[in-house]
Amino acid sequence: MKSICGVEGVSAWGIKEGKFGLALIRASGTAAGVFTSNRMRAAPVEVMMERMRRGTLDAVVVNSGCANAYTGERGYRDAVGMCEIAGGALGLAPESVGVASTGVIGRYLDLPLITDQCGRVAPLLARSGEAEDAAAKAIMTTDTFPKHALVETESFAVGGITKGSGMIAPNMGTMLAFIYTDAQVEAPVLGDILREATRRSFNRVVVDGDTSTNDVAFCTATGAAGRVDRDELARAVEAVCRDLAVQIARDGEGATKLLEVTVRGAPDEDAAAAVARTVVASPLVKTAIYGEDPNWGRVVAAAGRAGVEFDPYAVSLSVGEIPLVRRGEIVADLGAAKAAMRGKTVAFDLDLAAGEGIATAWGCDLTEKYVEINGKYTT
């Protein structure tokens, strides 16, 4: 399929060899980035937090299999070296190339391998579904499928690819996202749009409660479509980010079900988001989802520890279309509730009756497979 390669001015390709992959995405324009909140930031994050002050990018190089995190001065030099390698392969100034990494923490990059892979990938860059799929697969680690999203309007397009399925928590999780638009927009405005979209999408995904060392989301605007309405662009970028975020949650490590929690009636949107994130992060809720156990008390208990003021006996809760609590009164039909939890998506709606704030967060169930994947991740 096409998403980023459906945007004018974007070409891509990638290669995956065992655990080690490399993708190149070429697109010139104004650019913005958001980064992990983890203090143990990986070397490529440190490089890009400085480099993005320029407000432009011509390409991005991404490797999978090695996070280049907790690698000190050598790791920083290696991240810069990746940009030099990719710049040489693409005929670009190294400082105009972005870098991102994902994989095992505490291991050094294999720069000879990256040099070899860059040399083989660069001549293949193209604008096609095949090219984009190759890039999306190259950056995967424990993902089970590549993740794409595209929004097209009459005047411009926004497309994105991402990877991520574990070490996912608010403030981004081990995810890399690369978003492109052909709209013409200044870098500061693009940064504001990306930050708001991230707040309402990637920062509302919880797979396991961990926050990665390597999270980045970059957005580049090629300008090929000319000036567009700022609010329309913001809605399109948010829609792409939300689509990608939901795909990450659905592909959580070992997951069998997507968990969606919408909280309404909160004092404000941030309060609603805090409650929704707390519920989707709860191991007790997540295991109940896996077992299709209508133990709805775990949902209200998690909501109660989110740090938001509300009257516990004024709330209403439903799963799917099945009411569980109505304004503090228990009305649950447990048989019907269990049936509502049998599908691939389990959706709770919680009304706090404490204001007008509304927000949705996404997560997944917690299964034995998650322990298996992460118990043997490096071996």
**The pairing of beta strand 147-152 with beta strand 216-227:** unpaired
Q: Does the annotation mark 174 as catalytic?
A: yes
Residues making up the binding site for substrate: 141, 163, 174, 253, 374, 379
Report the b/e string of 117-134 with b at 16+ CB within 10 A.
bbeebbeebebeeebbbb
Instruction: Tell me if residue 192 falls in helix, strand or coil.
Output: helix
Count CB-CB contacts under 10 A for residue 39: 7
- Number of residues assigned to the chain: 379
DSSP string, 205-274: EESSS---SS-EEEEEEEEEEEE--HHHHHHHHHHHHHHHHHHHHHT-TT-SSEEEEEEEEESSHHHHHH
**The pairing of beta strand 20-35 with beta strand 216-227:** antiparallel
Count CB-CB contacts under 10 A for residue 331: 13
CA distances from residue 57 to 33, 102, 120, 195, 219 in whole angstroms, order as listed: 11, 20, 22, 18, 9
> Choosing from 102, 115, 174, 211, which is the catalytic residue?
174
* Cβ contact 33:52 at 8 Å: yes
CA pair distance 230, 185, nearest whole angstrom: 8
CA pair distance 365, 288, nearest whole angstrom: 8
Active site residues: 174
